[in-house]
Amino acid sequence: MGKFKPETPEVMDIHLNALESLNKIAIIHDRLAGLLASMNSDLAQANSILRLDKDEISNHRNQLINIRQDLSRLETDLHNNMEDLKSATIVFDATFSQIAYLTKQQQQNISAAELPTNND
């Protein structure tokens, strides 16, 4: 986007849409990182319980049930965030395609303006 100059309201809107899409993707990335960290923590906790003797595992039954419920909720959140990421990526791709098209059009206009005329 180096030579791309937002000079018209339409172009400025497209430019802002691209920035908004990138910001949304960054926010979703942060949410996904948090979800994955929570899932890893829950899995590590469950793993440490499951390494105990059978008699001791039964003492942690409620804790394992809570971990399973947390993982189920986190899986749903992960799925929803992945869908949000997919949508944001589609919007960004479409916006970037518009920017590429307008940049090419702008370059063609500049090239056409630089052509010598019959009056030269």
Domain ranges of the chain: 23-102
**Two tokens at 39?**
């899932």
Question: Based on the number of CB atoms within 10 Å of its own CB, is 85 exposed (0-12), middle (13-18) or buried (19 or more)?
Answer: middle
Q: How far apart are CA 78 and CA 104, in angstroms?
A: 38
pLDDT tens sequence across 58-78:
999 999 999 999 999 999 999
pLDDT tens digits, one per residue of 9-43 = 777 888 888 899 999 999 999 999 999 999 999 99
Tell me yes or no: is domain 23-102 CATH 2.60.40.
no
DSSP characters over 39-69: HHHHHHHHHHHHTS-HHHHHHTHHHHHHHHH
Q: How far apart are the first and last CA of the chain?
A: 34
Helix (H, G, I), strand (E, B) or coil at 38: helix
pTM for the model stands at 0.73
